[in-house]
Chain A
Amino acid sequence: MGVAQKTMNLTRLTQILLLFSSLSILSIGGGNTVLPEMHRKAVNGYGWLSDKQFADVFAISQAAPGPSILIVTIIGYKAGGFPGAILATIAMMLPAGILVYLVSRVWERAKDLPLRKAIERGLAPLTVGLILASGWVMSKAADHGWQAYLLTGVCTAIFSTTKINPLFIVAAAGLIGWLGWV
């Protein structure tokens, strides 16, 4: 590897570090909120990947197990190989993680304050509403047909009334999808 190549790699890795660590702090409300900005920089700005590749990579990160924010792992990989992938992943998690750490320390100390009790009790109905909203948005995004809604209904009934390990049901639903029935 020549000197010029090394300098280029270093520049690239610095760009990866700066882009994803700033997106980490900006991603208030979750990783999805910075996707447009990520697209603007990675596709239009640096030209690391094409428009279509970004869309495909997004689909891959949604489909794979684990947090969907791992889209940055793939973008980092395309931009800077294996080191780029690892750097992008850490840069996306560390700044926000430090902030969460600081907040959770304060939260632990506030254990017996009425404010914490009120926040916990008050946020519960709101969180349940938000989770229903995310389920709603998920089923719209998945472009559900009637078969998929039926499958969702049956699975919901099973999850709500039995103690069967949910993993079996998800696997069975995956099998049904693989057979092309939804």
Chain B
Amino acid sequence: MSDKPSLASLALTFNHIALASFGGGLSAWSREVIVVEKRWMEDEEFLSAVTMSRILPGANQVNLAVFVGVKFRGVPGAVAAVFGLTFIPVLIVLALAYFYFQFHHIPAVKGILKGAAAAAVALTLSMVFKTGKKCLTGLIPVSLFATIFLMNGIARWPLLACLALLAPLAVAWAWPKKP
């Protein structure tokens, strides 16, 4: 674990994550940068932060930026991380919106996006392999993993319902055993 990142480093890092995620896959990019490249968090802490960012109201990625920013630098850290995540994307989105409302059609990036989206799905899958290797190490965690995938991904149950059912089981399973 390296030293506390500075405010500038938080802003630049989240800016990097935001710009890299062209086509999607923000969660996977966040892990790639925060856990692998910068080593600011371990996988377990990062994954629980991801899920809490999903449970709490608000955009998941903005919440994750707040979480990471607060962890290292308190409120200024959160502001720096969110600013980094959104500043340039807001400018890009405004430029696209201006173009769209002026000329009444979506800028011709459809093909590029289709390709980039396929790669973003791939990055998400490889994140599943990499993080899964570490935490899917027994019958119970594998069943938890498979059940929530079926519920949320295939049956499209709402996130909160899935977690309300499975999180208590998962926490009970993971409770530290007395020596």
Are A126 and B94 closer than 8 Å at their CB atoms? no
Are B170 and A122 closer than 8 Å at their CB atoms? yes
Are A60 and B93 closer than 8 Å at their CB atoms? yes
Q: How far is the CA of A33 from the CA of B119 in the complex (A)?
A: 25
Are B116 and A129 closer than 8 Å at their CB atoms? no
Q: How far is the CA of A169 from the CA of B122 in the complex (A)?
A: 10
Report B68-96 residues with CB < 8 Å from chain A CB: 70-71, 75, 78, 82, 85-86, 88-90, 92-94, 96
Residue of B nearest to A124 (CB): B135
Are B62 and A137 closer than 8 Å at their CB atoms? no
> Which single member of B67, B121, B145 contacts A126 (CB below 8 Å)?
B145
- A138-172 near B? 1/0 per residue, CB < 8 Å: 11001010001101111110111000001101111
Q: How far is the CA of A122 from the CA of B167 in the complex (A)?
A: 7
Q: How far is the CA of A53 from the CA of B104 in the complex (A)?
A: 9
Are A28 and B56 closer than 8 Å at their CB atoms? yes
Are A131 and B142 closer than 8 Å at their CB atoms? no
Are A177 and B111 closer than 8 Å at their CB atoms? yes
In the complex, what residues of A have CB within 8 A of residue B117's CB? 138, 142, 148
Query: Does A105 touch B at the CB level, under 8 Å?
Result: yes
Are B66 and A97 closer than 8 Å at their CB atoms? yes
> Which single member of B21, B121, B142 contacts A135 (CB below 8 Å)?
B121
Query: Does B144 touch A at the CB level, under 8 Å?
Result: yes
Given A69-B62, A123-B48, also A56-B116 (CB < 8 A): no
Given A114-B176, A125-B142, A129-B149, also A103-B56 (CB < 8 A): yes
Query: Does A2 touch B at the CB level, under 8 Å?
Result: no
Given A97-B66, A142-B121, also A92-B59 (CB < 8 A): yes
Question: How many chain A residues have a CB neighbour from B under 8 Å?
Answer: 97
Interface of A is mostly: helix
Q: How far is the CA of A89 from the CA of B145 in the complex (A)?
A: 34
Are B97 and A177 closer than 8 Å at their CB atoms? no
Q: How large is the interface on B (under 10, 10 to 19, 20 to 34, 35 or more residues)?
A: 35 or more
Residue of B nearest to A137 (CB): B153
Are A30 and B59 closer than 8 Å at their CB atoms? yes
> Which single member of A66, A105, A156, A167 contacts B85 (CB below 8 Å)?
A66
> Which single member of A74, A160, A175 contacts B126 (CB below 8 Å)?
A160
Query: A180: shortest Cβ distance to chain B, in Å?
Result: 6
Are B59 and A93 closer than 8 Å at their CB atoms? yes
Are B149 and A74 closer than 8 Å at their CB atoms? no
Not counting A27-B59, A172-B119, A177-B112, a sample of 5 additional A-B residue pairs whose C-beta atoms are within 8 angstroms of each other reads A100-B67, A124-B135, A138-B25, A139-B121, A151-B119
A residues engaging B (CB < 8 A)? 24-31, 33, 56-57, 59-70, 73-74, 77-78, 82, 85, 89, 92-93, 95-97, 99-101, 103-105, 107-108, 114-115, 117-139, 142, 144, 148-149, 151-156, 158-160, 166-167, 169-182
